[in-house]
Amino acid sequence: MPCQGPSEHVQHIAIAKLVKHFGWTWVIILASSDDGGQRKSQNLKNEITKLGACVDLIGTLMEDENTAVRTLQKIQNSTAEVVIFYMDNCLKCGDYEWPNPNKTVCIEKPIEFLSYSDDSLTLTFIVHSLVFFIIAAVILGIFIKFRDTPVVKANNHILSFILLVSIKLSYLSVFLFLGQPIDVTCIFWQTSFGITFSMAMSSVLAKTTMVYFAFKATKPGSPWRKWVGAKVAYCIVFVCSIIQILISVIWLATSPPFVELNLLSEPGKIIIQCNEGSVVAFYIVLSYMGLLASVSFIVAFLARTLPDSFNEAKYITFSMLLFCSVWITMIPAYLSTKGKYMVAVEIFAIISSSCGLLFCIFLPKCYIILLKPEMNTKKYLLGNKK
């Protein structure tokens, strides 16, 4: 047999008896504003008054804001001992609220972002960024101190300085991703790492290109000689970097990143995140970085078999392979994660790819400078190792 609940009249009698049982003599009834709600609240009032209690107010719920405010004021001014809610359906919580476990009241949804205060993931990124920043600063100091030695001068020490500064800035850009996002940090968030990495990639490209041109120019009457020189290298860095800057300026002028509250990805949470503004512009920035890295990898791969005096191309080849691998795997991971973990994926890609550049290119040189000074000679670099 189908299960049937008590009739409306029986419910009214039961509620009235409860009012009498607890000794409440002065009550308020709140019901829905439709005809059914008003009729039921009036019938409930009749049953309550039959048992000797009085109804001070019959109010309505789910009305406009002004009506709700007036009803609340009447309740606050009333001396009623209890408020009876008579409703067929639950009240819907607001967009930024969530019912408590007992479904008795709406509470604010928890907010999620990479917080500085109570997130171990944030602390991990801060420690790694600072440690690697200090390492990059130390390596830069070593290169400045030994800038006149053959190992540092072999592949244009100015380009090495630019590359090291770019790597240091990439580590610092991690801090823009941490904490509660605001519009300003969102703008710098998505553009800073693109510009700094483009500077780094353009420096690497200039290094590998100069290595290749210099070797080709050693042949008598070679037309490559006009392409050898610091001016060509600096021009490569400037042009490649300015293109990324122009892309970022157009992005910010047309559809800049902004803060948004994501209420849909994880029910029960408010995810504060940066919206790219223009997804197309975001992927153009990544694609341009990938283009520079790919060209650098190809040129370095072609130059990897050149004589030992130009063997930096071998390390650049490996660093570009690592760089491309990190960012290629980052894209599907970035798209498949949500909330603060999506930001964490991007931070991990920035830190790991920067470490690839830092350690693959500069650690072998630091090893020679500090531990094998006998190798830091012009004769050794020219292949005379006796």
The 3-class secondary structure across 194-250, one letter per residue, is HHHHHHHHHHHHHHHHHHHHHHHCCCCCCHHHHHCCHHHHHHHHHHHHHHHHHHHHH
Confidence of residue 2 (pLDDT cuts 50, 70, 90): very low
Domain end (from 43, 74, 89): 89
Tell me the average pLDDT across 234-245. 92
Instruction: Compute the mean pLDDT over every residue in the chain, rounded to the nearest whole number.
Output: 81
Domain of residue 43, CATH code: 3.40.50.2300
Confidence of residue 169 (pLDDT cuts 50, 70, 90): very high
Q: What is the pLDDT of residue 218?
A: 60
Kindly state whether residue 98 falls inside one of the protein's structural domains: no
Kindly state whether residue 111 falls inside one of the protein's structural domains: no
Q: What is the pLDDT of residues 16-68, one digit of tens each?
A: 888 888 888 888 887 777 777 778 778 888 888 888 888 877 777 655 556 66
Check whether 292 has a pLDDT greater than 80.
yes
Kindly state whether residue 77 falls inside one of the protein's structural domains: yes
Tell me the average pLDDT across 4-19. 77
Contacts of 22 (CB under 8 A, 6+ apart): 82
202 with 349, same domain: the answer is yes
Say which range, 131-135, 211-215, 284-288, 324-328, has the weakest mean pLDDT: 211-215
Check whether 127 has a pLDDT greater than 90.
yes
Kindly state whether residue 308 falls inside one of the protein's structural domains: yes
Kindly state whether residue 106 falls inside one of the protein's structural domains: no
201 with 133, same domain: the answer is yes
Check whether 327 has a pLDDT greater than 60.
yes
Kindly state whether residue 161 falls inside one of the protein's structural domains: yes
73 with 164, same domain: the answer is no
Question: What residues make up the domain containing 375?
Answer: 120-381
Tell me the average pLDDT across 80-90. 71
309 with 202, same domain: the answer is yes
Contacts of 348 (CB under 8 A, 6+ apart): 330
Kindly state whether residue 114 falls inside one of the protein's structural domains: no
Domain end (from 34, 67, 89): 89
Closest to 296 measured CA to CA, from 163, 164, 198, 204: 204
361 with 296, same domain: the answer is yes
Domain of residue 377, CATH code: 1.20.1070.10
62 with 163, same domain: the answer is no
Measured CA to CA, the distance from residue 257 to residue 278 in angstroms comes to 7
The radius of gyration of the chain's CA atoms, rounded to the nearest angstrom, is: 35
Check whether 70 has a pLDDT greater than 80.
no
Confidence of residue 114 (pLDDT cuts 50, 70, 90): confident
Which of left, alpha, beta for 320 (phi over 0: left; psi -120 to 50: alpha)?
alpha
Kindly state whether residue 176 falls inside one of the protein's structural domains: yes
334 with 247, same domain: the answer is yes
Q: Is the dihedral angle over the CA atoms 143, 148, 150, 156 positive or is it negative?
A: positive
20 with 156, same domain: the answer is no
Is the Cβ–Cβ distance between 116 and 76 less than 8 Å?
Answer: no
Q: What is the pLDDT of residues 333-357, one digit of tens each?
A: 888 887 788 888 989 999 999 999 9
157 with 279, same domain: the answer is yes
Which of left, alpha, beta for 84 (phi over 0: left; psi -120 to 50: alpha)?
beta
34 with 181, same domain: the answer is no
201 with 77, same domain: the answer is no
Check whether 188 has a pLDDT greater than 50.
yes
* pTM, 2 dp: 0.72
Q: What is the pLDDT of residue 117?
A: 76
Domain end (from 38, 69, 89): 89
Pairing of the two strands 270-275 and 111-112: parallel
182 with 54, same domain: the answer is no
- The total number of structural domains in the chain stands at 2
Pairing of the two strands 26-32 and 82-86: parallel
Q: Which residue has the higher pLDDT, 122 or 41?
A: 122
Q: What is the pLDDT of residue 223?
A: 59
